Structure 1
Amino acid sequence: MSRTVYVNGQFVPEEDAKISVFDRGFLFADAVYEVTSVLGGKLIDFDGHAARLDRSLKELGMGMPMSRDELLEIHHRLVEANGIEDGLVYLQVTRGAADRDFAYPAEDTPQSVVLFTQSKPGLANSPQADQGIRVASLPDLRWDRRDIKTVQLLYPSMAKMEAKAKGADDAWMVEDGVVTEGTSNNAYIVKDGKIITRQLGTEILHGITRAAVLRFAREAQMKVEERTFTIEEAQAADEAFVTSASAFVMPVVEIDGEKLGDGTPGPVARRLREIYLEESRKAAI
C-alpha cells in the first residue's frame, strides 16, 4: 500500500504526488525543510520545529504558508493515515513555481508545501546507540548561512559518502581549524564530565534536539560549555556524541581512526540519551 502524502493542500497517494518542473525548490534549492520524529504515534519537539521553520522562511524572505495549528493537523493526519508508530515526518516549503529566473518571482506566487512520512520501527532502539558511531573529519565547504535549514544538502551528502568510503559512519566538518558540525547533526565532546559544543551562530544549524539536550543536561546539573573545539581536542576527549531529530543522542566512539576512551559509548552520552527520550516522550503531542 502506498503512502499518503500532502502536496499543496491535498492528501494524495504518493504515486499521484506532483510538483511543477518550474518549482524553485527543484531549480534553485530555494526552499527550507524540517524533520519531526514520531515515537509511539506522537510528534517529538513539534513546536521547536515549527518555530525554526518560521525563522528559516523569514531569513529567506518567504512567508509562513499556514498556521502552527494547521501544520500540526497535517502532521497528525499523515501519521494516522500511514500508521506511523515510530518514524519521521518530512516537511518542505519552497518559494513556489515560476518561470526560471535568478530574481525572485512576484510576492503573490503561491508557495509549494510538501509533507511525507517515513516509517522507522524501533527508531529509539537503534543498535548504533549501543555501539557508537565512527566519524571522519572533512573540510566544511558549505555556504555560510547554515543556521537556515535549507534543502541545499549536496555537500553534506558528499561528505557523508566520503566518510563512508573512509570506513566511518559520518563526517565532522572542519572550518578555520575547528569543528562546525556533522553532516546532519550537532557535535559534542565530553572532558572531565563537562559537555562542550560549539556556540550558536551562522556557522551551524540551531538544532532543536540540541536545545532540548542542553536544557536537560543543565537541569541534571551537568556542566555545559558552548565554544569551539578542534579535532585534536576531540580525539583527546573522554567521550563524544551527536544530536539530531532522527538520531536523538548518538555516541561517537572513534574520530579519524582514534578511539575515544575504551572505544565504547560513554556514560554522559548514554545518560543524556535516556533523559532526552524519557522527557521527549512525556511532552510528545
Structure 2
Amino acid sequence: MSRTVYVNGEFLPEEAAKISVFDRGFLFADAVYEVTAVVNGKLVDFNGHYARLVRSCTELGLTLRLDEHALRDIHQRLIVENALQEGGIYLQLTRGNGGDRDFHYPPADTPPTLVLFTQARAVVDHPAASKGIRVVTCPDIRWQRRDIKTVQLLAPCMAKAFAEAQGADDAFLVENGYITEGSSCNCYIVQADNTVVTRPLSNSILHGITRKALVRLAEEHGVTIEERLFTPEEARNAREVFISSATTFVWPVIAVDGQTIGDGKPGPVTLLLRKIYLQML
C-alpha cells in the first residue's frame, strides 16, 4: 500500500509526489531536516525537534512559513493516514526552486519546499537495543557547522559504508584526536566510577534532542554527566559505551575498533538510561 506524503501543502500518494529538478535541496543540499520518532502512534519530543528546526533555519536564513501548531498537525495527519504506530516522520525544508542552477541564493520571496513522509520501523524493541552494536573509528571529514541539521550527509554515508566494510555496524568520527560523534548519533562513554562522559555542545556536533533529554534524566536519577572531549583510546577502554539519537533512543556499543567493551554485553548504566528514557515516552 502506498504511503501518503506531504509536499508543499498537499497530502499525496508517494508515487504522485514530485519536486523540481531545480530545487536547491537537490542541487546544492541547501536544506535542513528533522526526524521525529513515533511510538504508539504519538510523536516523541516534538517541541524539541521544532525548536531545533527553527534554529537550523535561522542559521541558514531559510524561511519556515509554518508555526509549531501547523507542523504538528501535518505530522499527526500523516500518522493517521499511514496508520503509523512506531517509527519516525522525516521532514525536509529546502530553499526552494530558484528557476535554474545558480550558486547565488534565489530572491527572498522564493517559496521554500517542504516535504514530510513516514517510515515504519521498530524503535522500542529493536534488536540492537538489547544486543548492542560494534563500531569503528574513522576521520571526521564533515563541514564545520555540524550543529545545523542539514541534508549534507554524504560524509556520514561514507562513514557507515566504511564501518560495514570492516564488519561493524556504525562509525565514530574522529577529529584532532578526539571523537566528535557517530555517523548519525551522539556518543558517550562510561568511566570506572560510572560517570558518563559526552562531548560538550559546540559547532562540532549536532545538538541532539535525545541527548538533551538523557542529560536531564541522568541528573534526575543520580547519574553523573561530565561534558568533555574524549579519545578513541578512552572509548576502547571504557567500562561502557553507548549512543543516542531520535530513533535509536539509547543503544549499547559492545566493541570499538574490534576491542570488546566490558564483558561484551550492554552495561548497567546504559540499560538504566534507556529504561528511564522509555519511561518518559
TM bucket (normalised to shorter chain) is: over 0.9
For residues 174 and 247 of structure 2, the distance between their equivalents in structure 1, rounded to whole angstroms, comes to 23
Q: Name the structure 2 match of 1:148.
A: 148
For residues 245 and 261 of structure 1, the distance between their equivalents in structure 2, rounded to whole angstroms, comes to 26
Q: Name the structure 2 match of 1:18.
A: 18
Give deviations 1:223-256, integer Å, cap 9, x for gaps: 0000000000111110010000010000001000
1:198 and 2:199 are equivalent in the alignment: yes
Q: Name the structure 2 match of 1:251.
A: 252
Q: In structure 2, what residue type is equivalent to 1:89?
A: I
Q: Name the structure 1 match of 2:215.
A: 214
For residues 25 and 2 of structure 2, the distance between their equivalents in structure 1, rounded to whole angstroms, comes to 24
SS of 2:124's equivalent in the other structure is helix
The normalised TM-score by structure 2 is 0.99
SS of 1:116's equivalent in the other structure is strand
User: 1:63, CA displacement in angstroms?
Assistant: 1.8
Q: Name the structure 1 match of 2:110.
A: 109
Q: CA RMSD in A?
A: 0.6
Q: Name the structure 2 match of 1:177.
A: 177
Q: Percent identity?
A: 59
Give deviations 1:28-73, integer Å, cap 9, x for gaps: 0000000000000000010000000000001001122200000000
Which stretches of structure 1, 4 residues or more, deviate above 6 A after TM superposition?
none
SS of 1:157's equivalent in the other structure is helix
User: 1:123, CA displacement in angstroms?
Assistant: 2.0
For residues 86 and 123 of structure 1, the distance between their equivalents in structure 2, rounded to whole angstroms, comes to 7
For residues 215 and 235 of structure 1, the distance between their equivalents in structure 2, rounded to whole angstroms, comes to 26
The normalised TM-score by structure 1 is 0.97
For residues 110 and 196 of structure 1, the distance between their equivalents in structure 2, rounded to whole angstroms, comes to 43
1:128 and 2:125 are equivalent in the alignment: no
SS of 1:125's equivalent in the other structure is coil
User: 1:2, CA displacement in angstroms?
Assistant: 0.2
For residues 238 and 109 of structure 1, the distance between their equivalents in structure 2, rounded to whole angstroms, comes to 52
SS of 2:79's equivalent in the other structure is helix
SS of 1:87's equivalent in the other structure is strand
Q: How does 1:21-170 map to 2 (within 5 A)?
A: 21-98=21-98, 99-120=100-121, 122-170=122-170
Q: Name the structure 1 match of 2:186.
A: 186
Segments of 5+ residues of structure 2 without an aligned counterpart are: none
Higher mean Cα deviation, 124-133 or 107-116? 124-133
Matched residue pairs, number? 279
Q: In structure 2, what residue type is equivalent to 1:250?
A: W
